[in-house]
Amino acid sequence: MRALGVIRSFLIKEFRQILRSREMLVVLFALPAIQLLLMGFAVTNEVKNLSLCFFDYDRSSLSRALAASFQTGGRFRVLPAPPDAGPEELLANWYCKVVIVIPRGFERDFNTGRQPGLQVISDGIDGNTAALANSYIGGTLADFVQKRMQSRDTAFLKARNQEAGKINLITRMSFNPDLKSSAGIIPGIMAVLVTVTSMLLSAISLVKEKELGTLEQLLVTPAKKQQILAGKLIPYLLLTLAQMQVALLLARLFFWIQIAGSYTELMLFSLVYLFTTLGLGILISTRVASQQEAMFFSWFVMVVSILLSGFFVPIRNMPAGIRLIAFFNPLSHYMTVLREIVVKGSSLMQLSRELIILSVSGLVIFGISIASFRKRV
Amino acid sequence: MPDLKRIKAMAQKELFHILRDPRTLVILFLMPLLQLIIFGYAMNMEIRDVPLVIADYSGNSASKELIRVFSNTRYFVVVPQAEGSLEPETLFRNRSAQASLVIPPGFMESRFDLLLQIDAGDQNTAQMVQSYATAIVASLGAKLSAGIDLRPVVIFNPDLKSSFFFVPGLIAMILVMICALLTSISISREKELGTMEQILVSPVSATEILLGKVLPYIALGLMDALLILGVGMLLFQVPFRGDFTVFLGFTFLYVLTALCIGLMVSTIAKTQQAAMMMALAITLLPTILLSGFMFPIASMPPLLQKITYIVPARYYLQIIRGIMLKGNSIAQLYQSGLTLAGMSLLLLVVAARRFKLRLG
């Protein structure tokens, strides 16, 4: 009973300290909100408004129809080709990112079944955009050819034995029918925010007491080390969860994203995950001397774990060695959980693998950090 | 008239500060290198091995041919549908498949429609899956004749290596980080600890203090940038096609801009922590998010696109990507170059007016 009383007074002290400085509240709630909004809008690996130029040497109705088929959908922005520059020059001058050259005799060859060649020249500097653009161009063209084939009279198709041209591919997008990129990005940002807040702030708050010498004062009180730690960690645990509610609300208001799955399960997973991040926070605090160092160090950990979390690029696209590293990155599993629950509404059963991994990592990292705190402080 | 000897002494003092904290230094050099390696090897947008479940209700030669074509590409792995007739969405939630294809009975005899269902939780992968599937199905149709022969050519980076894209970006990032972030922290630290007062009562003039303070950071930033460039060129064969002097000239302008921003932050922020937060918010975040460092500006909403015009890294990135990868000359870059030059001039004037080495 007395132990609880000690923890309670620690909690009161910590909350007073946090709430006293307005800066801290800004760091806790305003900055994450700005981050969520800014990143929610800016972070997109979608390819939209890609500048595209046609060099139409055919000038037929087919070539014009082809150019027109790229104008819908907002994926490409078709620019007029200036008269005095070649395709490669346009790319070198940053005028556009892709040039499509329609050769002379394009329509004639297409109609007589001689498979006209179509040259697509793209700027490869941004490799991902170029790869996506090429795949979109391929898809748009395939669609265009298919529509042309289907509108053809059956005699034409029969004559060329072209039944295959009639295949109609119907696509349905599950969970995210409008293909909003924010559906994947927003839960990802939430995972990042939870990690940053809990890890960075707990580390800094402990280092600050160390730097100012007040940790020593706490240690000479009758309070036990684990009580001091509990008093330090519980406020940040609660604040992180509170921050998450704000983030969920903003996601709903600004991005129309609602949790498809169970809210309780989401909070359960977050609680389990927080043991890992708070543990990392303690671990960092025992190894650095100043707040600045703590900041740089946590930042370093953050950058690497965000890059290898599947936030920007699916982990499956990465080479095998890096996939293995990503497996040992707790953030990658928490990110999966958030996306699965928020976007797809997956159940606890379907996420049992992640639950096990996150529990193990929480136990191990938290255990190590407490041992290290006892030894070093 | 600034005295060179005093500037040297100030710079030396600052250098000792930097060297006394080796861990920060290690992180400053290690972080961009590690990022370069991760970006170079792991940031690969091109999808592969997407698990695809095929429900074949036809079982004829046409459907078998279709399945063969799908499993022969590196984009898809056809996974067996072990659990009988599970709904596609359940399979998606179990993450045992990411796409499902249904072939109707009598495919290519009486029925010509295929149903493709894709897990769009990851919107980007979903769209790529859709375009690949469309292209595969169309190639089946076009095989007999009369499609269009698409001949894609990629120039400047034919192998679509992400390192080509990220080496210039990381250079822009590290320069801002060291020149703006560290400079502002170092000045506000002297203020916070009260040592600035001690320097001010010495015979050293304000200009000398300033020059002595920023020179080590300029050197550090350029060293770090050249290290990234060197590693990028050696490890990832990133080319340098343009003129190195032009590159250095523009880099100088950019460094100047970053320094001015750092100085302005230090005039506003009173503590290290505040300086760090502000410098992060007005330099590093825009440099990463709003410059085209990673996310294409053209894909952003219109309002954000307008904001990117005031981010210096936007211009610097176009310039160094142009010089390194496209071999651009000044004539091709004069617009961005002039904007960057104008920006640094403006910031220099503002910073010089605001920055007064006074206390309180």
pLDDT at A151: 66
Determine, for residues A297 and B23 on separate chains, whether the beta-carbon distance falls below 8 Å. Answer: yes
Neighboring chain B residues of A144 at a CB cutoff of 8 Å: 148
A314 Cα to chain B: minimum distance (Å): 8
Determine, for residues A125 and B156 on separate chains, whether the beta-carbon distance falls below 8 Å. Answer: yes
d(CA A286, CA A235): 19
pLDDT, tens only, A151-198: 665 555 554 555 555 667 788 888 888 778 788 889 999 999 899 888
Average of pLDDT values for B79-89? 74
Average of pLDDT values for A24-42? 80
pLDDT at A18: 78
Whether residue B137 is predicted with pLDDT greater than 50 in this model: the reply is yes
Is residue A44 very low, low, confident or very high in pLDDT (cuts 50, 70, 90)? confident
pLDDT at B245: 92
Residue from the list A139, A183, A339 with its beta carbon closest to the beta carbon of B135: A139
Secondary structure (3-state) at B204: coil
Determine, for residues A145 and B133 on separate chains, whether the beta-carbon distance falls below 8 Å. Answer: no
Average of pLDDT values for A237-259? 91
User: By C-alpha distance, which of B333, B301, B299, B302 is closest to B317?
Assistant: B333
Is residue B85 very low, low, confident or very high in pLDDT (cuts 50, 70, 90)? low
Higher pLDDT, B236 or A45: B236
User: By C-alpha distance, which of B170, B161, B180, B284 is closest to B230?
Assistant: B170
Backbone angles phi, psi at A297, to 5 degrees: -65, -45
Range scoring the smallest mean pLDDT among A71-80, A290-299, B8-17, B293-302? A290-299
Give CA B241 to chain center in angstroms. 20
Is residue B244 very low, low, confident or very high in pLDDT (cuts 50, 70, 90)? very high
A296 Cα to chain B: minimum distance (Å): 7
CATH topology for the B50-155 domain: abc type-2 transporter like fold (3.40.1710)
The single-letter DSSP state of residue B111 is B
Whether residue B125 is predicted with pLDDT greater than 50 in this model: the reply is yes
3-state secondary structure A46-101: CCCCEEEEEEECCCCHHHHHHHHHCCCCCCEEEECCCCCCCHHHHHHCCCCCEEEE
Neighboring chain A residues of B135 at a CB cutoff of 8 Å: 135, 138-139, 142
d(CA B120, CA B47): 14
Share of chain B above pLDDT 70, in %: 94
Average of pLDDT values for A72-84? 87
Backbone angles phi, psi at B75, to 5 degrees: -80, -30
The single-letter DSSP state of residue B107 is B
d(CA B50, CA B74): 9
Is residue A369 very low, low, confident or very high in pLDDT (cuts 50, 70, 90)? very high
Whether residue B83 is predicted with pLDDT greater than 80 in this model: the reply is no
The ipTM, to two decimals, is 0.77
Determine, for residues A138 and B150 on separate chains, whether the beta-carbon distance falls below 8 Å. Answer: yes
Higher pLDDT, B50 or B127: B50
Determine, for residues A172 and B117 on separate chains, whether the beta-carbon distance falls below 8 Å. Answer: yes
Question: Domain extents for chain B?
Answer: 50-155, 162-359
Average of pLDDT values for A279-292? 87
Neighboring chain B residues of A126 at a CB cutoff of 8 Å: 165, 296
d(CA B339, CA A316): 41
Q: Are B207 and B9 in contact (CB under 8 A)?
A: no
String of DSSP letters for B270-337: -SHHHHHHHHIIIIIHHHHHSSSSSS-GGGS-HHHHHHGGG-HHHHHHHHHHIIIII---HHHHHHHH
pLDDT at A64: 92
Average of pLDDT values for B329-347? 89
- List B65's β-bridge partners, or say none: none
Order of strands, edge to edge, in the sheet holding A76-79?
A: A76-79, A50-56, A98-102, A117-123, B149-155
Chain A residue closest in CA terms to B186? A292
Determine, for residues B24 and A132 on separate chains, whether the beta-carbon distance falls below 8 Å. Answer: no
Q: Are B154 and B164 in contact (CB under 8 A)?
A: no
What tokens were used for A215? 């940790």
pLDDT at B147: 60
Is residue B360 very low, low, confident or very high in pLDDT (cuts 50, 70, 90)? very low
A236 Cα to chain B: minimum distance (Å): 19
User: By C-alpha distance, which of A67, A62, A69 is closest to A100?
Assistant: A67
pLDDT at B145: 37
Determine, for residues B127 and A124 on separate chains, whether the beta-carbon distance falls below 8 Å. Answer: no
Neighboring chain A residues of B139 at a CB cutoff of 8 Å: 142
pLDDT at B144: 39
Higher pLDDT, B294 or A164: B294
Neighboring chain B residues of A92 at a CB cutoff of 8 Å: 326-328, 332
Residue from the list B93, B139, B164 with its beta carbon closest to the beta carbon of A127: B164
Chain A residue closest in CA terms to B44? A317
pLDDT at B146: 44
Higher pLDDT, A23 or B180: B180
Cβ neighbours, 10 Å, residue A162: 21
Backbone angles phi, psi at A5, to 5 degrees: -60, -40
Is residue B315 very low, low, confident or very high in pLDDT (cuts 50, 70, 90)? very high
Determine, for residues A94 and B332 on separate chains, whether the beta-carbon distance falls below 8 Å. Answer: yes
What tokens were used for B1? 């008239």
Determine, for residues B116 and A172 on separate chains, whether the beta-carbon distance falls below 8 Å. Answer: yes
Q: Which of A214-218, A251-255, B86-90 has the highest mean pLDDT?
A: A251-255
Q: Are A45 and A266 in contact (CB under 8 A)?
A: no
Is residue B17 very low, low, confident or very high in pLDDT (cuts 50, 70, 90)? confident
pTM for the full predicted model: 0.81
- List B50's β-bridge partners, or say none: B76
Task: Tell me the average pLDDT of chain A.
Answer: 85
Determine, for residues A167 and B114 on separate chains, whether the beta-carbon distance falls below 8 Å. Answer: yes
d(CA A24, CA A236): 12
Pick among B155, B325, B330, B339 to test the A interface (most A CBs inside 10 A):
B155
CA dihedral defined by A16, A19, A20, A26, rounded to 10 degrees?
160
Place of tokens 């990592």: A361
B76 Cα to chain A: minimum distance (Å): 12
Neighboring chain B residues of A116 at a CB cutoff of 8 Å: 148-149
Share of chain A above pLDDT 70, in %: 94
Pairing of strands A98-102, A50-56: parallel
Q: Which of A203-217, B133-147, B300-314 has the highest mean pLDDT?
A: B300-314
Q: At what angle do helices B244-268 and B162-176 cross, to 10 degrees?
A: 40
Range scoring the smallest mean pLDDT among A204-218, A261-275, A314-328? A204-218
The three-point CA angle A33-A263-A229 to 5° equals: 70
Q: Are B185 and B276 in contact (CB under 8 A)?
A: yes
Range scoring the smallest mean pLDDT among A129-143, A165-179, B132-146? B132-146
Q: Are B249 and B334 in contact (CB under 8 A)?
A: no
pLDDT at B84: 60
Neighboring chain A residues of B93 at a CB cutoff of 8 Å: 340, 344-347, 350
Whether residue A129 is predicted with pLDDT greater than 60 in this model: the reply is yes
Is residue B91 very low, low, confident or very high in pLDDT (cuts 50, 70, 90)? confident
d(CA A97, CA B138): 26
Determine, for residues B142 and A165 on separate chains, whether the beta-carbon distance falls below 8 Å. Answer: yes
Secondary structure (3-state) at B56: strand
Higher pLDDT, A320 or A292: A320
Cβ neighbours, 10 Å, residue A9: 14
Chain A residue closest in CA terms to B273? A292
Chain A residue closest in CA terms to B109? A163
Residue from the list A138, A316, A340 with its beta carbon closest to the beta carbon of B135: A138
Whether residue B358 is predicted with pLDDT greater than 60 in this model: the reply is no
Q: How many CB pairs under 8 A join A and B?
A: 337
pLDDT at A360: 96
User: By C-alpha distance, which of A306, A283, A305, A304 is closest to A294?
Assistant: A283
What tokens were used for A122? 């793209």
Determine, for residues B131 and A136 on separate chains, whether the beta-carbon distance falls below 8 Å. Answer: yes
Q: Are B299 and A44 in contact (CB under 8 A)?
A: yes
